[in-house]
Amino acid sequence: MTRSDAYPSRVGCDARILPRKDPVLHGSITPTGPLSVDQLESFDRAGFLAIEEFFDDAETLAFRDEATRLRESHAGGRAPEVIIEPGSGEVRSVFAVHRSSAAFRGLARHPRLLAAVVQILASAAYIHQSRINYKPAFRGREFYWHSDFETWHVEDGMPRMRAVSASISLLENNVHNGPLMLVPGSHRHYVSCAGRTPERHYEQSLRQQEYGVPEPDALEELVGQGGLVAPVGAPGSLVLFDCNTMHGSNGNITPWPRSNVFVVYNSVENALEEPFSGQPPRPEHIASRDFTPLEAAG
């Protein structure tokens, strides 16, 4: 019997755009938490929501110091949680920081953040993935366009679209230093990708992705409909975005580095199954299978 797959991708067909089968807001639009009705409606419509000064200066500074400490402690190392920039050898990402760092464990369970997530998912949540992204000054590399859900579905077995990502800036994002760009409205379309997933793809893809990459035609269509938005702001700003919102960022030749903490919350009612690629699951530090509901930090 063939397994049911709501969002087929990399199954040997041509690329195409399929409609989303899941809601974006999984409950009713009621201001039962920190997000207002306007904010919830904006998230529903655009697929993301930017909030400046979500964390105060003291909190942000503590997170930044911790991110610097982690990068330095991993310099030159080869821990599986660490992704190295091709070429320069600099640390590009550190995964599973909500496990390795008390500060980021606290951030991920921050009461106001977690309450906003629960407003969107309308269920308890667990952490699918967390990481710090470091985009260095002068030589920061691009992140090409992608829907996170496409990868999480195909490579991790996330069955449906009921996950939300939180990106917290640790340094200023401005229009020049390669900020996150999102395609408003793209979360309503599933860009099914061509090709098949090779074995142990993640070992390369986290540095430079070759499979699960949307075709230029699909990107032109989505950007033609929705345009592009790059939220900018001071450190401590938050962007919440749907798991299927198309996003990417240009490189950074400016003297201003850019780094952010990224936490992915998945509904406990959307726990991972076997990957739809037919390959073995990715490691725990990239795609957690500990579905214990998160409780807010005390």
Rule CB under 8 A: say whether 100 interacts with a second copy. Answer: no
Instruction: Work out how close the CB of 40 gets to a second copy at its nearest, in angstroms, rounded to a whole number.
Output: 27
Rule CB under 8 A: say whether 144 interacts with a second copy. Answer: yes
Instruction: Work out how close the CB of 144 gets to a second copy at its nearest, in angstroms, rounded to a whole number.
Output: 6
Give the angle 229-211-91 at the CA atoms, nearest 5°. 70
Rule CB under 8 A: say whether 254 interacts with a second copy. Answer: yes
Residue (159 or 212) nearer to a second copy, CB: 212
Question: How far is residue 143's CA from residue 207's CA, in Å, rounded to a whole number?
Answer: 9
Rule CB under 8 A: say whether 133 interacts with a second copy. Answer: no
Instruction: Work out how close the CB of 228 gets to a second copy at its nearest, in angstroms, rounded to a whole number.
Output: 5
Question: How far is residue 66's CA from residue 104's CA, in Å, rounded to a whole number?
Answer: 8
Spatial contact of 184 and 227, defined as CB atoms under 8 Å apart: yes
Residue (144 or 291) nearer to a second copy, CB: 144
Q: In the range 269-298, which residues lie near a second copy by CB under 8 A?
A: none
Rule CB under 8 A: say whether 184 interacts with a second copy. Answer: no
Q: In the range 202-241, which residues lie near a second copy by CB under 8 A?
A: 216, 219-220, 223-224, 228, 230
Catalog residues that contact a second copy under the rule CB under 8 A: 137-138, 142, 144-145, 175-176, 178, 181, 216, 219-220, 223-224, 228, 230, 248-255
